Amino acid sequence: MIRIGIVVGSTRPGRNGEDVARWVHDLAVKRGDAAYEVVDLRDFDLPHLDEAMPAAMGVYEHPHTRAWAAKVAAFDGFVFVTPEYNSSIPGVLKSGLDFLHAEWADKAAGLVSYGVDGGVRAAEHLRQVLGRLKVADVSGQVSLSLFADFEDMAVFRPATHHEDKLAAMLDQVTSWSAALRPLRAA
């Protein structure tokens, strides 16, 4: 069965990403087309990049990097849940991506972003980073507005039309993850 990690891209206290990831997970598991798991960067306590060798070398010195690598390697695809901070992704998400290389390659990813303008600039920046890691990002995307989809910018209350967008994006992520499986096996 295809395994999809739902990555919570923020570790900030009071973050909205945990609720958004839970919403993605709750809707995704009802589909029965893949195994979905929330992967919270907070659980890995990754420091700023502290590996001596470039990630492309695959030589991981620290236990936190090896644990992160094992978790990422276990998935066929991802849904990244990211807020927009200053027109980009959170530093912790960028660092989490930078720690690894081969573990990301030839996998599919969908994006769920949120922010004042739906997190669209963060999503576009994330697409560029994923491209360098050989992650195939799908075109379907969910963009959530802090004004329209959150009560007082804190309590997640997504508009119902986002469920259709999420379903379409998950269709793409699961099918692309399956299609890329032969590349990962090579």
pLDDT in tens, the chain (186 residues): 999 999 999 999 999 999 999 999 999 999 999 999 999 999 999 999 999 999 999 999 999 999 999 999 999 999 999 999 999 999 999 999 999 999 999 999 999 999 999 999 999 999 999 999 999 999 999 999 999 999 999 999 999 999 999 999 999 999 999 999 999 988
Amino acid at 21: A
The crossing angle, in degrees rounded to 10, of helices 17-29 and 161-179 is 70
H or E segment at 175? helix 161-179
- At residue 24, the pLDDT reads 98
Closest by CA position to 12, among listed 81, 99, 112, 100: 81
Rounded Cα distance between 106 and 135, Å, is: 6
- At residue 95, the pLDDT reads 97
- At residue 186, the pLDDT reads 85
- At residue 65, the pLDDT reads 98
- At residue 167, the pLDDT reads 98
- At residue 31, the pLDDT reads 97
Domain positions in the chain are 3-185
The crossing angle, in degrees rounded to 10, of helices 120-132 and 91-98 is 10
- At residue 137, the pLDDT reads 98
Its pTM stands at 0.97
Measured from the Cβ of residue 185, the count of other Cβ atoms closer than 10 Å reads 7
On whether the 3-185 domain is CATH 3.40.640.10, my answer is no
Check the CA dihedral 60-66-68-69 and report its sign.
positive
Spell out the SS3 assignment of 42-98.
HHCCCCCCCCCCCHHHCCCCCHHHHHHHHHHHCCCEEEEEEECECCECCHHHHHHHH
